[in-house]
Amino acid sequence: MEPFTTLTGVAAPLAMVNVDTDMIIPKQFLKTIARTGLGKGLFYELRHGENGRALDFVLDAEPYRRANFLIAGENFGCGSSREHAPWALLDFGIRCVIAPSFADIFFNNCFKNGILPIALPAADVEVLMEDARNHNRATLSVDLEAQEITRAGGEKIPFDVEPFRKECLLNGLDDIALTLEKGAAIDTFEDRQRAAQPWLYL
């Protein structure tokens, strides 16, 4: 998993509440277990009408087609627990979602896939939403170590993040990497168990 330390880029506004995971990545894109190529399906039904006709959607307009941030409404990522949702965001290029609140499973899946979800008071999200709507102010920066968002004009907004999750993101540690860090202890346990209970290894 790629570490998340600091990120500067374009923020796209998505002023919608209760955006569920089926809206983020529709069911027809769930046939793959590959994490790449899903960006084309991100918000597919908001981006395409009948017969795949392109609609006027924010992520298909400049400068938002290069967005690294998504500013969204409350309860983002609700619905089913599909991990393809953060995969699709990440494949598109979005590494940080800022909203007043998130669905728990989606929130957890973001951290496990290298995306930083930031929950802020609604008033702060609205300020960032207005910045994102203004092309001249649509760029922002996030410093995870300092836990600060820097707006285009230099104003800073602090945010909270749980220390363990922060450490994992800073070091690019997903669940597999965390387990591998304990490799020596696992080997020691298995050697001890193999000596005491050899029939388990037949």
CB 64 within 8 A of CB 12: yes
94-145 pLDDT, tens digit each: 999 999 999 999 999 999 999 999 999 999 999 999 999 999 999 999 999 9
Asked if residue 7 lies in contact with residue 95, where contact means CB atoms within 8 angstroms, the answer is: yes
Sheet strands (E) in the chain:
6-14, 67-72, 96-99, 116-119, 139-143, 148-150, 156-158
Rounded mean pLDDT, 5-26: 97
Question: The whole model's pTM is what?
Answer: 0.89
Domains of the chain with bracketed CATH = 6-171 (3.20.19.10), 173-202 (no CATH)
Q: How far is CA 4 from CA 12, 98, 107, 190, in A?
A: 19, 15, 16, 34
DSSP state of 103: -
Q: What is the pLDDT of the chain when averaged over all its residues?
A: 91
Instruction: Evaluate whether 11 touches 71 at the Cβ level (below 8 Å).
Output: yes
pLDDT of residue 160: 97
- Length of the chain in residues, anyone? 202
